[in-house]
Every structure is written in structure tokens, then in C-alpha cells.
Structure 1
Amino acid sequence: MTAAPSVTRTPASLTGAVPKPGRVLAVTTLGLALVLLNQSSVNVALPSMSGYFHAGAGTADWFLLSFMIATTASILVFGRISDLIGRKPLYLTGLSVFALASAACVFAPNSLTFIVIRVLQGIAGAVVITNSTALIADAFPADKLAGALGINLSAAAVANTVGPAIGGVLVTAFDWQAVFLVNLPFGIAAVVLGIRILPNPRRAVSDGPRDRFDYFGAALSALGLTALLFGVDRLSVADSSPVVVVVPLIAGVLLLAGFVVVETRVRHPLVDVALVKDWARGCAYGAAFFNSFSRAGVTLLVVLHAQIVGGSSPAEAGLVVMVMAFAMSVASPLAGRLASRVPARTVSSVGGVLLVIGLVGLALLLDGPTWVTTVLLAVVGVGIGLFTTPNTTSIMSGVAPDRRAVANAVRSVLYNSAQALGTTVSLLIVTVAGVASYAENTGSGAVQTGFAVALGATAVSAALAVVLSIARGGSWRTLD
């Protein structure tokens, strides 16, 4: 997941200068990292939580999906709300609720209660994610905004990737509850720093009509995404009736199609669909979606395979994917420097090809020696790092200053939707292959094949991202 700005207007709509925007960037990145670290660290804790709540795979899936769906469905909603009540108070409220909900997860008496609390935590996470980038957009002048967002984006990607390693150590040393309890002290610290540092500029009084909140669009997007992912997830439950599967799938598709129609017709839409009409930008958006789908699957599948098939501890499973985070942290700034000399199409396409190679290798050799997995994960990390920055630059390039926030919001919605869908499909494939519970160890041939097929699906998605990256057009050669 990554940050989505909540502004649809230029920061010029705010009065008052921010004297030290770097501090705003540091504080908001801390809050964002806290949310994303928790989101990805839960992946490695899934087997432990499944055992604690005696939950089958069909129920345990929602330990992850409830948070993802709530976050994705809420990003656009709270983006618009922050325009009405102000960024700082909403951000601090979201951060506080996130920390408290994290602590409440520990005391959940059963899986249903835990899932409900995770929904609340996901909504609060969306508030933090949305307003983090919005506060940055308000604090930085237009000529420095792209650089600030780049730092924020890189930090978010690294936090999301190192989460399993941190979570694995906590689960092994204490148990799954530690993954949530650790959010409380860091959440309190982030709130205190936010109160002291974040600006709360007054809004300029507008003589024009007040923007109306798109309630209908918000409802369609939230319900459509939830129905679609619920239907996909139910495919993995053996005793699900066809009605429980087919009806949500059809409803989800129709609701999301209705959302697109509504967004093209309302005066103040949640998402400006017109942005994707530009061919190059539309291809970059599509590439971001399929790349995000593959990224969501690879981390989850590697840590689950290490525990379920390999018998590794959560700490061992989490540390395996650390190499991917390290490779990303090296490749991301390199991609930024290359983007000033080489077209984004070239850099992101090369990164996408490396990602495909790494994923195909994992699909074929995941049951091999650990060092092979480590090398392939390094290739995956370099590929992701090279792809993300130039592709995002391609999306933002040529967008008018007063539409940059909207353009980034569309990217964020696609990114988070793909993360949720990639997680759902990956879990579906491995459970259909024979994983009845994530708390049980099994090395059966069918389960190993299931993991290979799931990783193959992520490779196909990554390949589609490459196709779209190439299809955007433009030069391959070095820029003048």
C-alpha cells in the first residue's frame, strides 16, 4: 500500500507558509511507515493467529483482507472529508484510533471480533495514509513536491517490505499479539510529534460554490470492492454454495462499473476518470496495477511457504524476504538518478522484466536451497525498485499543478486495489491446493504445486505490467 493524497485542489487553496516542510515530511512518513509495517507484518503472523483462533483458511484470509478492503475503500472517502474538516485533526485522529485498535486486537475473544476490529484499524489506516501525502502536498512548494513525494513513496515501499522480518522476530520471541502491541508506543510518539510539528494553516475563503461530497460514488466503490473480493475468497471454501460465490462476484463487477459511470458524470467526483484517457498515462496506471498485484503475492507466498512447507519459524520466514527490501532500497534511488538520463519507459520496463524473471524463478525453484530463494528475491527487489519510481514519474509527468494530487490519488486507489486482489487470489490458489489451515505444516506435492502456481500467477501479472510499460510509447534512448 502507498499514500494517496486527499486534495483535489492546489495547495494554493491554503493560506500560511510552512517554514520547515522537511519536518512535516519526517513526521508524516513516520505515521505512514507505522501503518504499512503493521499491514505487512501480519502476513508472517497469519499461521500463529490461525492457530490461536482455531480458524480455517477461509476465515483466516479475512485477518488480512478485512484491513486491506477497509483501507482501500476508505482512502477516497477520507481524502474528500479532509478537505472539509482539515488535514491535521483528521490525521491525528486516524493515527490515535489506529494505535488503540491495534491494542484492541490483542484482546479479541474470537475471530469475528478480531476481523471487526481489523476493519476499524483499516479505516483508521486509510485516514493516516490519505492525509500523510496531503499534508506533504500542502507543505511543499510545487517545484519540490515531486521530490518529497518520492521520498515518501520509497519509505512506504521499504516499510511495507521489511514488515514481515520485523513481524517474524516479534512473533517468534513473544507471539502474534506483539505485532499489534508494538504499535501503541510508536503510535503515541507519532501523535505527540504530529501535535507539535504539523501545521494547521487556515483555509482561504472561497467565493465559489462549495464542493459536494460524492456519497453515491463512495458507496459504490466501497461496496463493489468488498463484494468482488468476498466472492473471489469464497471460491476457496469447499462448502460455499454457488449463490454465495456468484452473486457477490456479479454484484461487485456491476457496482464498480456503476462507480466508473458515476465518476464520469458527477461535478465533484472522488476520482477524475478523465486522467486515464491519455494513452501513455493510462498505460502507466495499468502497469502500476499489475505490478502491485504481483508484489502483494510474492511477499505473502514466500513467508507462508517457509512456515507451512518449510517448517521455518516466523522470524526465519520474515528474514528471508529482508533481502528483497534491501534490494529495493538500493534500486529505488538508482532508478531516480537514471530517470533523469533515461526515459521512464526504459527504466521501468527493465525493472519489470527483472521482476518477471525473479518470479518465474521462484515459481520453479521455491522448494530449492535457501540461497537460491535469496538470490531470486534480490532480483525481485531490484526489479520492483527500478520499476516503481520511473513509472510513478510517468504518471505524474505533464499533469497540471492543480491536478497532481488527483492523478496520484488514482494511482493509489489502483495500487491498493491490486494489493487486496493479489492477496485474495494468492490465498485462493494455495487453499484450493490443499491448505486447510495456515497453522498446519504440510509438504504435500499438491500444496507445493499450489504455491508454484500462485507465484506463476504473480509472474503473469508482472508480465502484463511490462507489456503496458512498453505500450505507453516514447523513446528508449538516453535523454538529452
Structure 2
Amino acid sequence: MAALLEGPATDDADPERGRPAAGSGAASGERPPRRRQSPAPRTVLAVASLGVFMAFVDATIVNVAFPDIERSFPGTSIAALSWVLSAYNIVFAAFLVAAGRLADLLGRRRVFLVGLVLFTAASGLCAAAPSPEVLIAVRLLQALGAALIVPSSLGLVLDAFPPERGAHAVALLTAVGAVGAGIGPSVGGLLVTVGDWRLVFLVNVPLGIAAYVLSRRHLVESRTPGRRRVPDLLGALVFAASVSALVLAVTQGQDWGWTSPQVLGAFAASVVLLAVFVRRSAHHRAPVVDLALLRNRTFSVANGMSIIASAGFFAYTLSNILFLTGVWRYSVLEAGLAVTPGPFVAAAVAGPGSRLAERHGHRLVLVAGGLVWGAAVLWLVLRVGTTPAFVAEWLPASVLLGVGAGLMLPNLSGAAIASAPGEDFATATGLHAVARQVGAALGVAVVVAIIGTPAPAQAPAAFDDAWIFAAACLAGAGLGCLFVGRVQAAAPS
């Protein structure tokens, strides 16, 4: 770890070409010292993509392993175990923006390497966790590592590519994250079938070591020029505590009673902490949330709808896995494969959907995508029965889910980020990622509260209720996009 605290490797090198800076020893006739050459942009993109891939595949690979985790700890309620998922989403969301500012301050390569070490070490500890409490605690560290990896990788890629190619590079990096999230369920199902849920975490260790070695060898240091400010780390903690209190109230509402002092106190604590967070954001020089950006209507609407859509997305994702393994009695591998078509359809639809949005405006595509997405989840309610029928019942829904997601998710991101001024591109990207992760945490919490631990005869109705919640979120997010204004894409700066 001490090696990560060294000074930057290329302070005296031209950041564009890797040549010695003007005024060096070469001008006075002396033999210039050997400098570390700047890597090719494609090399930076490949190395950064490996880190992003690990961070995003872990956001979905654990979903399919959740039933196996539940079987390993039979004395623990599903509400308590849901923190294995929620803790990761909350910490990831809370520290994304602060980590990005920290990377600008201390150096993107350095923060990227620290994130890799933390994520890899935490993954190994997750695999060895002897109890749910230890697993949840180590997941917090794993999420912190992911929060350091993602924004620093974005900064490294943007610094490596010329400005006119920056948007393309970011799109490729985003696509890698989407692919990681898409193949997570099938990879997770395979790993759980070969061994158990611990392999889902253990697989990160060799990948993390490889990413660290490649990063040390090929990446060079970069920082944001000019004056830099220390990010509001305390504000990030307050934000995480506020979301955690809200998730606690929702997940424990049935067990503790919705009007019990514990649940009402958790709701109240969430509101108070949120007020403290907003006040800090209004006065801190480097806040987690730039409140000025929220005065942009399209930016605010797009991020608000991202929270709602992400809640619906993660709600039905977890519900689908639990339904397939609990009601249809699929193995974990079969369940992972059953939910895989949707992400690949979404990837195929994303490109044409983006071109439609550029030609006809984001609003039309977003509203249509949200309505199709919500209708696809309603198909699960109306057509999927208790007897397995993958081709006749499940596959059509999975294809429609992919169409809706492919039309809405990428264009919602595009609308949110492109509506921000060019100089706020990185901040807008970070805030949009925060919105998605907050929605994910809330979606998981609500589904756990809805499904609970039903008797076998009551399970189908419980899953129908969870799907109805997800469908309402997705269709509502689509209708909310009627308030998205016209946006024009701007190159990142």
C-alpha cells in the first residue's frame, strides 16, 4: 500500500505525448533522464475497463447468489440478509462523487490503485465471511473500493483521449459496465453451481490482482489542473446514513410494525439527516451534490426518474431470481440463464434507441421505453404461472424487459448528463450514478418488505405484488419523462 502513496510518475512529462517538458535537461546538452511514456489511449481504456467491469458485475452477480446465501445462514431473515445487497448500493452511491473529487485532488491513478486494492481485499474477505454480519460489514468496504474505481477510471480515460473523442471513450467505458452487469446473473449462476456463493466473491481476487499489475505497469498519473478542493467526505457519510435509515425503516416495517417507535424513528432520522446533508451541500466548497445543477429542470427530472426506474429495475431483478428458484424450483444456474436474455436484448436496442432520441428527441423515446418496460413486468403478473413454462411465458417477458430497458436506461443517462453544462460533465455523470444506486437500494428494500417470508401457498401472490410495484415504478418513470426538455449532446471537458 505504501507504493500507492508515491508522487505522480509523470509530473515533468508532456501529458499529451509523454515527451520531456520544455526546459528539461535536453535543452542544455545534458542527457535527459528517462521518462515514463504516456500509454496509448486504447491501453488506458482497456485497463480502466477491467476495474469498471469488476465493480458493475458485482452489482448483479450477487443477486443470483442470494438464495444460496440465504440457505447458508438459515437463522437469518431475508430482511437482514437484504443488507448484503443494500449496503453495497448505499455506500457506492454515497461516495461516488466524493471519490471522483478525491481522484482529481490526489491523482486518478493513485485513487484507482487504492480502489483496486480495497475492492480485491474486501472480495476475499467476503468469500471467507463466517456470518451475515461480517459479510455485510465487508461489503461496505467492497463498495467503497468500487466507488473509488469508477470515477477515477472515468478521469483516466478522459485524460488519455483527445477532447473530440472523449464522448466516444466514455460510451465504451459505460458499455463495459453494462456488459458486466448483464452477464453477472449467468456467471453468478455458474459459479454457485460449481461451488457455492463464496466463489461469486472469490472470482474478483485474480481479476483484481491482474488489474492492479496492469495499472502499475501501464497507467500514468493525472490530476485536474488548477486549484482543487478537498471533497465533503463528512457529507458523504451523512448522505449514506440518511439513505440507510430510510432503507432500515422500509425493510423492517413488517417485522417491527409500521407505526412502531423504531420504524418511525428511522424515518425521522432519515429526514433529519437529509436536511443536514442538503445544508452541507449548500455551503461546502466541494459538495457531494451540486445544488446549482438541480435547478436545471431536465437534469433534475432525468435524475429523479432514474431513481424511480432503478428502484423498479432492481425490484424485479431480485424478485425474478427469488421466483425462479423458489416457485419454479430452478437451480441457481438455470435462474441465472433465464434472466440473461433481457440484458443482451437491451444492449442490442440501446444503439438504435439512442439514434432515435438524437433524431426525434429524448422525451418520446423515454416515455415509450418506460411504458414498454412497465408493460413487460405486468406480463409477469398476468401470464406467468406457478408451473415452469420458459418459452411460452418467461422468454417473451424477458425480451420485452430488454426492449424497455434498452430504450430507457441509456437515454435517461444521456438526457441527464447532456443537459448539464460542459464544464460540469464529470459532476453530472457522478450524480446520475448516485441516483441509480439510491434507486437500487430503495428497490431492494421495498421488494424485501413486500415479499417477506411467505408460506408456499402465498408466495405467488407476494411475487405478483412485488412485480406490480416494479411495473408502477417503470411506467411512472416513463410518464415522468414527459417533463424532460430537449437536450443536445456536448463533448465532455
Q: Report the TM-score when normalising by structure 2.
A: 0.86
Q: How does 1:23-102 map to 2 (within 5 A)?
A: 23-54=43-74, 55-102=76-123
Per the alignment, do residues 301 and 359 of structure 1 end up closer, same or farther by CA in structure 2, a change over 3 Å counting? Answer: same
1:290 to 305, 308, 311: 308
Relative distance call for 1:203 and 1:238 in structure 2 (3 A) is: closer
**Shift in Å at residue 159 of structure 1?**
1.6
- What SS does structure 1 have at the residue aligned with 2:231? coil
Distance (Å, rounded) in 1 between the aligned partners of 2:233 and 2:51: 27
Partner of 1:465: 477
Number of the residue aligned with 1:8: none
What's 1:354 paired with?
A: 372
Q: In the aligned structure 2, how far is the partner of 1:458 from the partner of 1:257?
A: 28
Deviates more, 1:382-391 or 1:153-162: 153-162
Pick which of 299-308 and 75-84 moved more: 75-84
Choose 246-255 or 134-143, whichever is displaced more: 134-143
Shift in Å, 1:216: 4.1
Q: Does 1:381 align with 2:402?
A: yes
- 1:270 maps to which of 281, 284, 288: 288
Q: Is the 8 A contact 2:39 2:219 kept in 1?
A: no
Deviant stretches of 4+, over 6 Å: none
Say whether the 8 Å CA contact 1:58–1:236 is kept in structure 2: no
1:249 deviation in Å?
1.3
Amino acid at match of 1:180: F
Could you tell me whether the CA contact under 8 Å between 1:285 and 1:395 is conserved in 2?
yes
The answer for the alignment partner of 1:242 in structure 2 is 260
Q: How does 1:11-410 map to 2 (within 5 A)?
A: 16-17=15-16, 20-54=40-74, 55-201=76-222, 204=225, 206=226, 210-237=228-255, 242-367=260-385, 369-371=389-391, 372-410=393-431
RMSD: 2.2
Corresponding position: 1:447 with 2:459? yes
Contact 1:235 1:245 in 2 (8 A): yes
Uncovered stretches (5+) of structure 1, i.e. residues with no partner: 1-13, 436-441, 476-480
Contact 2:90 2:244 in 1 (8 A): yes
Q: Secondary structure at the match of 2:385?
A: coil
Distance 1:203 1:392 in 2: 24
Contact 2:156 2:222 (8 Å CA) reproduced: no
CA contact (8 A) 1:78 1:130 kept: yes
* Aligned AA (1:79): G
Q: Which shifted more, 166-175 or 195-204?
A: 195-204
State the Cα distance separating 1:198 from its structure 2 match: 2.0
Deviations 1:138-177 (A, max 9, x none): 2233322222222222322232132111101111121111
TM-score normalised per structure 1: 0.88
Show CA shifts across 1:366-403 (max 9, x none).
32622221111111111111112222222222533221
Which moved further from structure 2: 186-195 or 306-315?
A: 186-195
Distance in 2 of aligned mates of 1:377 and 1:471:
28
Deviation at 1:241, TM superposition (A): 8.5
Structure 2: how far apart are the matches of 1:85 and 1:215?
A: 14
Could you tell me how far 1:137 is from its partner in structure 2? 2.6
Give the counterpart letter for 1:172 in structure 2.
T
Answer whether contact 1:142 1:401 (CA < 8 A) is retained. Answer: no
Distance of aligned partners of 1:239 and 1:113 in 2 relative to their CA distance in 1, 3 Å threshold? farther
Aligned-pair identity in percent equals: 30
2:59 partner amino acid: Q
Amino acid aligned to 2:208: G
Cα displacement (A) at 1:474: 4.6
In 1, the alpha carbon distance for the partners of 2:353 and 2:163 equals 22
Deviation, 1:63, is 1.8
Counterpart Cα distance in 2 of 1:203 and 1:355: 40
Distance of 2:266 and 2:234 partners within structure 1: 19
* Partner AA of 1:297 in structure 2: A
Residues 16, 202 of structure 1: 8 Å contact kept: no
Matched residue SS, 1:341: helix
Distance 1:412 1:353 in 2: 23
SS across alignment from 1:227 = helix
Further displaced range: 416-425 or 64-73: 64-73
- In 2, the alpha carbon distance for the partners of 1:324 and 1:62 equals 25
Distance 1:468 1:201, change over 3 A: same
Contact residue 311 and residue 442 of structure 2 kept, 8 A: yes
Counterparts in 2 of 1:327 and 1:274: CA distance versus 1, 3 Å: same
Q: Tell me the SS of whatever aligns to 1:270.
A: coil
CA drift of 1:252 comes to: 0.8
Alpha-carbon distance between aligned partners in 2 of 1:474 and 1:188, rounded to the nearest angstrom: 44
Aligned residues: 450
Q: Measured at CA, do residues 66 and 350 of structure 1 come closer, stay the same or move farther in structure 2, by a change above 3 Å?
A: same
1:321-368 deviation digits (Å, cap 9, x = unpaired):
111011011011222333332212222222212101101111223326
Q: Deviations over 1:52-84 (max 9, x none)?
A: 122221221122222222222222332222222
Separation in structure 1 between the aligned mates of residue 413 and residue 401 of structure 2, nearest angstrom: 18
Gaps of 5+ in 2: 1-12, 17-37, 488-493
User: Which stretch of the first structure deviates more once superposed, 234-243 or 264-273?
Assistant: 234-243
The worse-fitting range, judged by mean Cα deviation, of 79-88 and 292-301 is 79-88
Higher-Rg member (1/2): 2
Q: Give 3-state SS (helix, strand or coil) of 1:339's partner.
A: helix
Q: Cα distance, 1:415 vs. partner?
A: 0.9
Q: For residues 106 and 473 of structure 1, do their structure 2 counterparts lie closer, same or farther at Cα, with a shift above 3 Å needed?
A: closer
CA contact (8 A) 2:109 2:222 kept: no
> Which string of whole-angstrom CA distances, capped at 9 and with x for unpartnered residues, describes residues 89-146 of structure 1?
1111211221221111222222211211111111112111222222223223332222
* Greater mean alpha carbon deviation, residues 318-327 or residues 278-287: 278-287
CA distance in 2, matches of 1:309, 1:127: 39
Kept in 2, the 8 Å contact 1:15–1:201? The answer is no
CA contact (8 A) 1:360 1:459 kept: yes
